[in-house]
Amino acid sequence: MLTGYAPILVLLALAIGFALVNLFVSELMGRRRVNVGKGDPYECGMEAQGSARIRLSIHFYLVAVLFILFDVESVFLVLWAVSAEQLKADGLAVLVLVEIAAFVAILGLALAYVWRKGGLEWDR
């Protein structure tokens, strides 16, 4: 019963062993040079200016959340597309096509609503 899982367990053991050996060797052979510049914040090749505690518009956050939301929902479409051949063989192609059409319609309505409300605009 467990013989089917043996290759997976071997691969898992090899991956964990490889990671542990790399950590041990880098800790053992790595140099430790203390430098004042290593602790400084560094971004885009320029020295940091001002405080990191600035107030940003909520619209940056909204656009990011909307992007993640629509991106995750597009993954569901990919999963349906991958399983389409099997669904066709099982005789569920029409039902799944109706479900996909409803899903895309709801997704389109949500996008239209967000667009109409101005949720995708940066400069409000």
Residues in the chain: 124
Does residue 110 sit in the same domain as residue 79?
yes
DSSP designation for 123: -
pLDDT confidence of residue 100: 87
Give, for all 124 residues of the chain, the pLDDT tens digit. 678 889 999 999 999 999 999 999 998 888 777 777 666 666 676 776 777 788 877 778 888 888 888 888 888 888 888 888 888 888 888 888 888 899 889 989 988 998 898 877 777 6
Does residue 62 sit in the same domain as residue 113?
yes
Phi-psi region of 45 (alpha: psi -120 to 50; beta: other; left: phi over 0): left
pLDDT confidence of residue 120: 77
Sequence-ordered alpha helix ranges (H) in 1-117 = 6-29, 58-82, 84-89, 93-117
pLDDT confidence of residue 8: 93
Q: How many domains does the chain have?
A: 2
Does residue 69 sit in the same domain as residue 35?
no
Q: What is the reported pTM?
A: 0.49
Does residue 62 sit in the same domain as residue 101?
yes
